[in-house]
Structure 1
Amino acid sequence: MRGGTVAVVGGSIAGCALASAAARAGADEVVVLERTHGRLADRGLGLCIHDGRAAELAATGALPAGIAAHRLTRRRWVVRDDTAAGPAGRVFWEQPFPFHSYHWGLLWRGLREATPASVVYRQGAAVTGVAGDGERAEVRLAQGTAEAFDLVVGADGYRSVVREAVCPESRPAYAGYVCWRGNFDARRLEALGDGGWPAESVTTVCFGGGSCVIYRIPGPDGPRVNWVLYAMPPQTGRLPFDDPTSFPPGRVTEELAAHLGALLDREFPPYWARVLGLTEPADTFVQPIYDLETARTTAGRLLLAGDAATVVRPHNTSGAAKALQDATAFEDAWRRAGTWDELLHAYQAARGAAWREMVALARRLGRGQVEQTPAWAAMDHREAESWWQGQLGGAADIGGQAMTP
């Protein structure tokens, strides 16, 4: 199929990838509508992409070459042990971890720069509603204007405006726990000593009722340390976790900051508590954990991708790969389709089962690593391996599935 006009609502990772896919596939016009005015590249979060998924995505063009990445090979699971272990705790299990880590902003910048020149990227274009039941789709903008396209792609995240039109009954569901996230310049580690922490290793600190993943990522000014700590929030006070939201960097409440400090003092090996303590308040935030399954991801001339289509808890380490796979499936469906209806049907068929399985796996991982944690300190490596296979439930690995040719 050739020609047609496409609007992509949302200009972050999924939006750039879907816009590039539409342009490569042969759309006459592709417009990205991004509501923010600022620099998306300023987002400093870390993320990982499985080496197998990265190779597939590079081959399709969805993951451009040359984007800074940090190689990871091993994951060490650690518990506090005040009797037998040193300040870095006791490693009770190691497993292969074939991933590369990325800086969100640098990954977005690479995708943005790789977007074909024919794509129009409009910032400050806030979409307030869409409609797409007929032969065309309409986008309504905050300034009161409306624009028509042959297809509208919702890549506008877990609070998607486009999803409200496609599947209004589907909303993100709070998992009952949160994550504290942060990152800092890796050079700060020099003050602590290396703590036995190889640069290619991921450390997971385990404790009753939660866990924390710590690893290095590339940064605009050199390597950084990125961490994600999952645990139940404080039970006192009124924290707005019943609605998809977060406490952004610099705005974490005193209650949440104190709760994090108590967790580090009580549960962490001293070295790893000091590591997280190197993070500036301006680089720390709290994010409620949600997941989302949608009954449908296409309707009329509307299509959902990325977190607008499905939200997977971060334990699966698949968010970026999932968005780029959505773009790959979209481009492949476009090239095979003769009509818009065929395109939407093929896209849904290619991604629906994979989305459901990723959500299910991440829920199992959340139960095992936060909601119903085992007696980590009593495990040996054989018991840990058996526990992990139970978490996977038949999946080959975390990080997302291989795409079907």
Structure 2
Amino acid sequence: MGGSIAGCALASAAARAGADEVVVLERTHGRLADRGLGLCIHDGRAAELAATGALPAGIAAHRLTRRRWVVRDDTAAGPAGRVFWEQPFPFHSYHWGLLWRGLREATPASVVYRQGAAVTGVAGDGERAEVRLAQGTAEAFDLVVGADGYRSVVREAVCPESRPAYAGYVCWRGNFDARRLEALGDGGWPAESVTTVCFGGGSCVIYRIPGPDGPRVNWVLYAMPPQTGRLPFDDPTSFPPGRVTEELTAHLGALLDLEFPPYWAQVLGLTEPADTFVQPIYDLETARTTAGRLLLAGDAATVVRPHNTSGAAKALQDATAFEDAWRRAGTWDELLHAYQAARGAAGREMVALARRLGRGQVEQTPAWAAMNHREAESWWQGQLGGAADIGGQAMTP
């Protein structure tokens, strides 16, 4: 269930492992490739995933190497602000639509991919799992994989007690054609660098991504929403491009004017309203990833705040673990048990790390401007809490 990144990856994994029949049920009719969001995959995770076949070769990616942390400084720094810390950033950035297209094209021809197939419920307690479709029909399968995102119907059956929890803040997201930067100059911004603009109560990550028509600039700004009025943040549904409220648009403008170095405020100002949206930040963890003949993967299993930069890698790792469990198992029960053992705790640990990162970069921000390099490094290690890095964990060979 679900035909986006996780769904394509799990379907391909099942086909490679020897499934006789694989059916993907995707509820939308439209072109998923039109989604233009940026994302990153850690170089270490990408190498592991390429070796297993979960990340196909040839998908456009932009190399990133350094992350610079910047604050506004009206006294000493130039229009691009003052860099108070710089750290290695071994990632490649992707365009969501191009990554999905590469995964979709790599899906074996034996996989049946059905769009417009909305599922209203599943049951998986017996020897077969049943899927109930919106048009009133039902179909039976040996196994149902829930790769149907943060509003997963399969998760409702596996873990009905699990609900997405609002973190108390939102992110504004946008991207635009990188050629627009020519009007501003480069601002001392190397193409392989990520910039994090820091301010009290929030932060903004800015980097380049590949696009269908050339490089694009992608940005994600985290902050508390405006306190006036009533905005519907009780459900993890975004305000899509063209439907961002005037109140949220005005709040973004005020943040740029008051908190951002002038150059970076101008950079974000290059984004068209049609390429800007607002997403409430939620997270979710589940006590289990399998039940009966049902299995959860990707955001259906765990919703991790984006600070961890691990969403795509996690979905592809789920597919890798699924394929490995399939090849080693002699029964469905063995497969499900092995998958739960491989991915259950890993998902919960990523949720915990992203919560720490959210506290440190939005909810309880430090005095960024007073930090030196050594203090910033110590602060960062405190957020990691023993994790090796952001971007997801290495999988056990």
With the length of structure 2 as denominator, give the TM-score of the two structures: 1.00
Cα deviation per residue 1:300-339 (whole Å; 9 max; x = unaligned)?
A: 0000000000011000000000000000000000000000
Cα deviation per residue 1:249-294 (whole Å; 9 max; x = unaligned)?
A: 1110000000000000000000000000000000000000010011
**Residue 22 of structure 2: SS of its match in structure 1?**
strand
What's the CA shift for 1:371? Answer: 0.2
**Residue 62 of structure 1: SS of its match in structure 2?**
coil
What's the CA shift for 1:68? Answer: 0.0
Cα deviation per residue 1:143-197 (whole Å; 9 max; x = unaligned)?
A: 1110000000000000000101111110110000000000000000000000000
- Whole-Å Cα distance in 1 between the matches of residues 288 and 164 of structure 2? 14
The residue number in structure 1 matching 2:393 is 401
Equivalent pair of 2:85/2:372 in contact (CA under 8 Å): yes
Gaps of 5+ in 2: none
Cα deviation per residue 1:49-72 (whole Å; 9 max; x = unaligned)?
A: 000000000000000000000000
What's the CA shift for 1:243? Answer: 1.2
**Residue 236 of structure 2: SS of its match in structure 1?**
coil
The residue number in structure 2 matching 1:107 is 99
- Whole-Å Cα distance in 2 between the matches of residues 352 and 191 of structure 1? 48
- Whole-Å Cα distance in 2 between the matches of residues 298 and 402 of structure 1? 22
The residue number in structure 2 matching 1:5 is none
- Whole-Å Cα distance in 1 between the matches of residues 346 and 91 of structure 2? 20
Please state if 1:28 is matched with 2:20. yes
Cα deviation per residue 1:100-138 (whole Å; 9 max; x = unaligned)?
A: 000000000000000000000000000010000000000
- Whole-Å Cα distance in 2 between the matches of residues 181 and 244 of structure 1? 15
**Residue 29 of structure 1: SS of its match in structure 2?**
coil
Within-5 A mapping of 1:81-160: 81-160=73-152
The residue number in structure 2 matching 1:336 is 328
The residue number in structure 1 matching 2:175 is 183
**Residue 86 of structure 1: SS of its match in structure 2?**
coil
The residue number in structure 2 matching 1:13 is 5
Cα deviation per residue 1:208-239 (whole Å; 9 max; x = unaligned)?
A: 00000000000000000000000000111111
What's the CA shift for 1:396? Answer: 0.4
Please state if 1:282 is matched with 2:258. no
- Give the alignment's Cα RMSD to 1 decimal: 0.4
- Whole-Å Cα distance in 1 between the matches of residues 68 and 60 of structure 2? 24
**Residue 313 of structure 2: SS of its match in structure 1?**
helix
- Whole-Å Cα distance in 2 between the matches of residues 165 and 365 of structure 1? 30
What's the CA shift for 1:297? Answer: 1.2
- Whole-Å Cα distance in 2 between the matches of residues 37 and 79 of structure 1? 44
What's the CA shift for 1:244? Answer: 1.6
- Whole-Å Cα distance in 2 between the matches of residues 156 and 375 of structure 1? 40
Equivalent pair of 2:70/2:85 in contact (CA under 8 Å): yes
What's the CA shift for 1:352? Answer: 1.2
The residue number in structure 2 matching 1:65 is 57
- Whole-Å Cα distance in 2 between the matches of residues 133 and 396 of structure 1? 39
* Stretches (4+) displaced over 6 A: none
- Whole-Å Cα distance in 2 between the matches of residues 290 and 229 of structure 1? 15
- Whole-Å Cα distance in 1 between the matches of residues 163 and 142 of structure 2? 26
- Whole-Å Cα distance in 2 between the matches of residues 254 and 168 of structure 1? 36
What's the CA shift for 1:296? Answer: 1.3
Gaps of 5+ in 1: 1-8
- Whole-Å Cα distance in 1 between the matches of residues 242 and 142 of structure 2? 42
What's the CA shift for 1:353? Answer: 1.5
The residue number in structure 1 matching 2:32 is 40
**Residue 344 of structure 1: SS of its match in structure 2?**
helix
- Whole-Å Cα distance in 2 between the matches of residues 85 and 314 of structure 1? 30
What's the CA shift for 1:356? Answer: 1.2
Equivalent pair of 2:287/2:344 in contact (CA under 8 Å): no
With the length of structure 1 as denominator, give the TM-score of the two structures: 0.98
**Residue 211 of structure 1: SS of its match in structure 2?**
strand
- Whole-Å Cα distance in 2 between the matches of residues 226 and 139 of structure 1? 38
- Whole-Å Cα distance in 1 between the matches of residues 133 and 229 of structure 2? 37
Cα deviation per residue 1:331-369 (whole Å; 9 max; x = unaligned)?
A: 000000000000000000001111111111100000000
- Whole-Å Cα distance in 1 between the matches of residues 219 and 148 of structure 2? 25
The residue number in structure 1 matching 2:199 is 207
**Residue 97 of structure 1: SS of its match in structure 2?**
strand
**Residue 59 of structure 1: SS of its match in structure 2?**
helix
- Whole-Å Cα distance in 2 between the matches of residues 244 and 143 of structure 1? 26
- Whole-Å Cα distance in 1 between the matches of residues 346 and 135 of structure 2? 38
What's the CA shift for 1:207? Answer: 0.1
What's the CA shift for 1:295? Answer: 1.3
Please state if 1:271 is matched with 2:263. yes
